[in-house]
Amino acid sequence: MIAEIEHHGRKFRVDLARPVDLSLPLQAGEGRLRAWYVDPVRMEPVVAGDRTYAVSAGAPLNFRTVVVNPHGHGTHTESVGHLDAAVTPVGGMLDRYFFTAEVISLRPEQRRAPDGRTDLLITLEQLRHTLDERPREALVLRTLPNASGKEARDWCGSNPPYLQSTATAWLRSIGVKHLLVDLPSVDREEDGGVLAAHHAFWDFPATVDTARTITELIHVPDSVPDGRYLLELQVAHWINDAAPSRPVLYALLP
């Protein structure tokens, strides 16, 4: 289905029949995706007295309680409330859900960290070399190599790649409102709580920016070429600093 939309005074043709889901599935049990040393997702039938609410146990329906940590268990979107003592819920923050977006692929560069470890970073220079300063509302970052098996990857203790704070500050300066990455965080796994890239993107605590979001733990399939898209960003309506989300790309047509 081809639709024509007008966005900020420009008209686009969009192929709505071929959505590309960037979210990773949320699954219970051991051996599933996780970060930050959280326990596995639990999806357990409610037990009331001698009745277990599972069809397999003879109940007329399945009625499960789900225990999940949005930061550690899958694709999620964060607000500035991730840093702020005040409640800034991401679930009710967006007043629209479609944004112009650009997908880029970058191979993190090796850098020696002060603690002697070799880090992998997405740098300011890489971004400036790849992007011009033309406004785009959302940036989708695919890191290379785009390894398979991300649905079950255990990121804990692996010192994943991350973004320089100067890189996220520059993205803010060119008008990026929504930053999406296929990493567990835009910041280093162990940084003593500095969270420099988060602070730079939201310019916190100088401002409390409720217009910008960071989405982490996405997956961009290899079949998706770099370029411009329409992004649909749907976020669970949780009153929390982060919530499970389902970002979806649609191709823009000539």
For each of the chain's 254 residues, which pLDDT tens digit applies?
777 777 667 788 888 889 999 999 999 999 999 999 999 999 999 999 999 999 999 999 999 999 999 999 999 999 999 999 988 999 999 999 999 999 999 999 999 988 888 999 999 999 999 998 888 899 999 999 998 888 889 999 999 999 999 999 999 999 999 999 999 999 999 999 999 999 999 999 999 999 999 999 999 999 999 999 999 999 999 999 999 999 999 999 87
Identify how many contiguous H helices and E strands the chain contains and give both numbers: 4, 17
Determine the Cα–Cα distance for residues 115 and 251; give it in Å rounded to an integer.
Answer: 43
Q: Which residues contact 46 (CB under 8 A, 6 or more apart)?
A: 52, 53, 63, 64, 65
Structure pTM? 0.95
What is the pLDDT, as a whole number, of residue 35? 97
Best CA proximity match to 216, nearest among 152, 176, 166, 163: 163
What is the pLDDT, as a whole number, of residue 150? 81
Determine the Cα–Cα distance for residues 242 and 254; give it in Å rounded to an integer.
Answer: 36
Q: Where are the domains of the chain?
A: 2-27+70-253
What is the pLDDT, as a whole number, of residue 8? 67
Tokens of 145: 């190599």
Strand boundaries in the chain, DSSP class E: 2-7, 10-15, 20-21, 42-45, 47-48, 51-52, 64-67, 76-78, 98-106, 109-112, 118-122, 138-143, 162-163, 178-181, 213-216, 227-235, 242-253
Determine the Cα–Cα distance for residues 163 and 28; give it in Å rounded to an integer.
Answer: 30
Note the residue count of the chain.
254
What is the pLDDT, as a whole number, of residue 205? 97
At position 234, the amino acid (one-letter code) is: Q
User: Apex CA 194: angle with CA 192 and CA 195, to 5°?
Assistant: 120
Assign a CATH topology to domain 2-27+70-253: Glucose Oxidase; domain 1 (3.50.30)
What is the pLDDT, as a whole number, of residue 106? 98
